[in-house]
Amino acid sequence: MRFKLISSYFYFDERTGNKVSFRAGDIEYLQAGSGAWHKGMLLKDQPTLGFQLWISLPPELETADAKSVYVTPDEIFRNERFKILLGEHERIKSKIDPPNDMNYLDVNLGPEEKWTYTPPESHDILWLVVYEGKLSGALIASVGELIVFEEGNQPVEFSSEHGASFLLGSAKKFEHDLVFGRGSIHTSESNLQASQMKINKIYGELVQKGTLN
């Protein structure tokens, strides 16, 4: 799972041992593995905008210990058009190694600007969500709209009359089955059950310590 904070201030406390105050532009990568517990709270009473992207882990990682990484805006690699949050594009690589063959970009277009995204040859999944402004031209999308493209890896051109900011993801289609739990997704029923048992154990330990009621 990834969390990107667009605006406001946030605080995270995780079972991995990390405790951190989030500011606008920060990102978190939490690889829950076999199970993790985390909580967050607003530090200021004001509107907050943030995004969570849940990523399916391959079998060898979903049974591993949980880990998390926090990245500040200064540590996010970028060019004049996009920030690379996960993956690699136009020879710009993210600080965090993604668990799968995927890209995750934060794209910004100014007024009357155009930009073309060419996915890697291995990618056949593409989506985007607009969080500021509006896309125009051949592809029209407004704030809050999620666009999922047909499978393929053809270049896609984006343009905006007045400017737009959006999150874009592309990836190779996941090769494993998906088994859904209440708060997690796994590749097998056995891994799901093991994860739920570990989360219940963590919950009991936190209640004993008084961290949770």
Report yes or no: 103 and 93 within 8 Å, Cβ to Cβ.
Answer: no
Region label for 33, one of left (φ > 0), alpha (ψ between -120 and 50) or beta (otherwise): left
82-101 residue pLDDT tens: 999 999 999 999 999 999 99
CATH topology match: 1-75+184-213 vs 78-176: yes
**Is residue 154 classed as helix, strand or coil in its secondary structure?**
coil
Tokens 């076999």, residue located: 34
Please give the Cα distance from 161 to 141 (Å, whole number): 12
pLDDT at 6: 47
Question: Between these two residues, 2 and 56, which has the higher pLDDT value?
Answer: 56
Structure tokens at 112: 């009357």
Please give the Cα distance from 52 to 29 (Å, whole number): 10
* Topology at the third CATH level for domain 78-176: Jelly Rolls (2.60.120)
3-state helix, strand, coil in the chain (%, to 5): 15, 45, 45
145-156 residue pLDDT tens: 999 999 999 999
Q: Which residues make beta-bridge pairs with 68?
A: 30
pLDDT at 158: 98
Res. 114 pLDDT band, cuts 50 70 90 = very high
pLDDT at 43: 61
Tokens 């200021």, residue located: 44
- What is the CATH number assigned to the segment(s) 1-75+184-213? 2.60.120.10
pLDDT at 163: 97
Structure tokens at 159: 């343009």
Mean pLDDT on 41-60: 79
pLDDT above 90 as % of the chain: 47
Chain-centroid distance of CA 126 in Å reads: 14
Which residues fall within 8 angstroms of residue 54, CB to CB, at 6 or more apart?
Answer: 1, 185
Report yes or no: 90 and 81 within 8 Å, Cβ to Cβ.
Answer: no
pLDDT at 213: 61
Res. 18 pLDDT band, cuts 50 70 90 = low
Tokens 């097998």, residue located: 188
Domain ranges across the chain: 1-75+184-213, 78-176
Mean pLDDT on 99-106: 96
Mean pLDDT on 5-16: 46
Mean pLDDT on 157-185: 92
